[in-house]
Structure 1
Amino acid sequence: MKVLVTGATGFIGRQVVHRLREAGAELRLASRHPERLGPGHDAVLMPEFDTPVAAFLALTRDVTDVVHCAGLNNDEGNATEADFRAANAQLSARLAQAAAEQASGRFIQLSSIRAVIGARVSATIDEDTIPDPQCAYGRSKREAEIGVLDAYASRGRSDATVLRLPPVHGSGMKGNLATLLRLADTGVPLPKGALTGKRSLLSSQSAAGAIWHLLNRSGPLRPIYIASDVPPVSIAGIVGAFRSGFGRPKRLIAGPAGPLRAAAILLGKRTAWDSMTATQICEPSLLVSEGWLPETGTLERLAEIARLGNAQSPPLR
């Protein structure tokens, strides 16, 4: 087995590389910053979406499998719809077309629950959830899913799959979880009524484990899989876990949600309120039924992230 891992220097890509290397897989690593991988690696520059096809064929030559982690994340505040579409949808389709032509094994496309649901919607998400992306990032990830699966189907192949992820936690995480981490480190009292939403999360180690499971699973792959830790955790629980790791009191104040919601609307923070109070639960039972074991100690993991960060750097203010 020789696996091409794209986005190898990214948050999830680094964990995937570590997991596959531990398992003894031969690797080719693609990154927009291959110099960060150091000497002794089969490291190459990741092509852009509009690079000639020869570059994608060279990238996938002599590999058996592809794990596509590269892409533009939704925490890029200045990115446009065109930016997301190019870096996620068009790049993924170009890579899948080359891999379907000459890679003999599987193609694992990392995606997001944003491909099927918006941040403000409360729902339970599984493989049969009807896609309704509500942001530029989500639309680009859904288009990428379609492009990858179509590239393989057009060659009569069914060995490509999409792995949809909820917010992923671990050292170096970004997005809303990083925002909550910074908020927890302030020690400011927070109202429980504003933190009622429940969320499924996923550890970066579990994400890498799910990828390894899909690469090695006997039998055909399903087109879509969902991975998540179990059980889901509340936003209040996330903040409390971070504060526990920082050695701070939880400082979560009881109070009715109604006045807080009204204040948020008056301050023009309706979107933030809806996102904070939405409940989004992922159902990973398909992966579990096929032998994958989810993480069960989410809050302990979050506390450890804060504890390690607190020991290695000055407190966030």
Structure 2
Amino acid sequence: MKGLQVLVTGATGLVGEAVVFRLLLDKRYTPVAAVRATTRLSGLCRIVPFDLELPTGMPELRGIDVIVHCAARVHVMNEKGADGLAAFRKINVEGTVRLARRAAECGVKRFIFISSIKVNGEGTPRNKTFKATDLPAPVDAYGISKREAEDALRQVCEETGMELVVIRPPLVYGPGVKANFLSMVRWLDRGIPLPLGAIDNRRSLVAIGNLTDLVLTCIDHPAAAGEIFLVSDGEDLSTTQLLRRTALALGTSARLLPVPAGLLQAAASMVGKSGIAERLCGNLQVDIQRTCELLGWRPPINTEKALRQTVEHYRDETR
């Protein structure tokens, strides 16, 4: 007997693919992967074509019970101005709304939207946290488009009766992670000295295993409908602590120079990299208490285990 039919968009990305693999392990669900490119999921589950950018690119949704919408135009560093925002809106807002309306027409019961903590803002003051009930304060085009998508989805679901669940993760890491996190692992593995040995900030992260566990919880939990959930590993780290723990997982020592954060930020500002310095030196903490209480959920993977899994995958890929 087949379980709930769950369609996952963006199933070639880090989050979407991980969600599909988790669904494959749980007999309560039958995953369907919506992709626009080739995928290693072929042969493991049903694959349907999907392109969020194209009005004609909607997937087949008949028989689908729940959608987990991971596909998006992701954050692009240093992209500014009206053209950048328009590009994000075309995919992250217009494409998402198009999918949601089609889903409602086809009888999809619940729409889980993977949003971003950037809807809350870029950072938090010292000893303060973002909460799901905070007024949104996105700054960049990506965050603005995610906030607008949330608002538009809420309207669609109010009009149609389809249930909406919004999840706002901070930085996601784990096996297969790319971009800045992968660069950090490579620098540490190569023993490159980094001027990040005196950063006393606090930042929330979420391991891909914890995020996918929350997604599965939200698929049919009655308390999830209509809610916004923040998610993290439940332990906030400084940049210095993260580097040292990652180095430990690699079996090496982090070569960190104790350069004061203020000096780093000043130097970065001089070369037009203040945004990078803020992410390295600033605070971004999320409060997951409401998520845990409403759903009876706890992050199942601790930071050490998640970093080990990340490093093991990196080692396998570089052999």
Q: Which TM class, normalised by the smaller chain length?
A: 0.7 to 0.9
Residue 217 of structure 1 is matched in structure 2 by: 221
- TM-score (structure 2 length as normaliser): 0.87
1:250 deviation in Å?
2.1
Provide closer, same or farther for how the CA distance between residues 308 and 28 of structure 1 changes in structure 2, counting only shifts above 3 A: closer
Alignment of 1:168-207 (within 5 A): 168-192=172-196, 195-207=199-211
Answer yes or no: is the 8 Å Cα contact 1:241–1:303 preserved in 2: no
- Which structure 1 residue ranges, 4+ long, deviate > 4 Å from structure 2? 75-79, 119-123
Give the partner amino acid of 1:175: A
Query: Per the alignment, in what secondary structure is the counterpart of residue 3 of structure 1?
Result: strand
User: Which of the residues 10, 13, 18 maps onto 2:16?
Assistant: 13
Higher mean C-alpha deviation, range 133-142 or range 122-131:
122-131
Provide closer, same or farther for how the CA distance between residues 82 and 307 of structure 1 changes in structure 2, counting only shifts above 3 A: same
Answer yes or no: is the 8 Å Cα contact 1:191–1:254 preserved in 2: yes
1-structure distance, mates of 2:52, 2:223:
33
Would you say how many aligned residue pairs link Structure 1 and Structure 2? 310
Deviations 1:105-140 (A, max 9, x none): 211000110122126876511111211111111111
Give the partner amino acid of 2:297: W
Alignment of 1:1-317 (within 5 A): 1-24=4-27, 25-34=29-38, 36-39=40-43, 41-52=45-56, 56=58, 59-75=60-76, 80-118=84-122, 123-155=128-160, 157=161, 159-192=163-196, 195-219=199-223, 221-254=225-258, 256-289=260-293, 290-295=295-300, 297-313=302-318
Answer yes or no: is the 8 Å Cα contact 1:194–1:260 preserved in 2: no
1:296 deviation in Å?
5.3
Provide closer, same or farther for how the CA distance between residues 41 and 76 of structure 1 changes in structure 2, counting only shifts above 3 A: farther
1:36 deviation in Å?
4.2
Answer yes or no: is the 8 Å Cα contact 2:119–2:138 preserved in 1: yes
Answer yes or no: is the 8 Å Cα contact 2:104–2:162 preserved in 1: no
Structure 2 unaligned residues grouped into runs of 5+: none
Higher mean C-alpha deviation, range 104-113 or range 179-188:
179-188
Query: Per the alignment, in what secondary structure is the counterpart of residue 184 of structure 2?
Result: helix
Deviations 1:263-292 (A, max 9, x none): 333444333222211111111112211211
Give the partner amino acid of 2:288: P
Provide closer, same or farther for how the CA distance between residues 172 and 77 of structure 1 changes in structure 2, counting only shifts above 3 A: farther
2-structure distance, mates of 1:233, 1:35:
34
Answer yes or no: is the 8 Å Cα contact 1:230–1:296 preserved in 2: no
Answer yes or no: is the 8 Å Cα contact 1:65–1:103 preserved in 2: no
Provide closer, same or farther for how the CA distance between residues 125 and 260 of structure 1 changes in structure 2, counting only shifts above 3 A: same
Identity of aligned residues (%): 29
- TM-score (structure 1 length as normaliser): 0.88
Answer yes or no: is the 8 Å Cα contact 1:237–1:299 preserved in 2: no
Answer yes or no: is the 8 Å Cα contact 1:93–1:144 preserved in 2: yes
2-structure distance, mates of 1:164, 1:189:
33
Provide closer, same or farther for how the CA distance between residues 136 and 119 of structure 1 changes in structure 2, counting only shifts above 3 A: farther
1:30 deviation in Å?
0.5
2-structure distance, mates of 1:210, 1:94:
25
1:252 deviation in Å?
2.6
2-structure distance, mates of 1:69, 1:256:
38
2-structure distance, mates of 1:233, 1:148:
33
2-structure distance, mates of 1:194, 1:274:
14
Give the partner amino acid of 1:246: L
Answer yes or no: is the 8 Å Cα contact 2:124–2:285 preserved in 1: no
Give the partner amino acid of 1:152: C
Structure 1 unaligned residues grouped into runs of 5+: none
2-structure distance, mates of 1:26, 1:311:
29
Provide closer, same or farther for how the CA distance between residues 179 and 313 of structure 1 changes in structure 2, counting only shifts above 3 A: closer
Query: Per the alignment, in what secondary structure is the counterpart of residue 211 of structure 2?
Result: helix
1:23 deviation in Å?
1.1
1-structure distance, mates of 2:24, 2:316:
28
CA-based RMSD:
2.5
2-structure distance, mates of 1:65, 1:287:
20
Answer yes or no: is the 8 Å Cα contact 1:184–1:240 preserved in 2: no
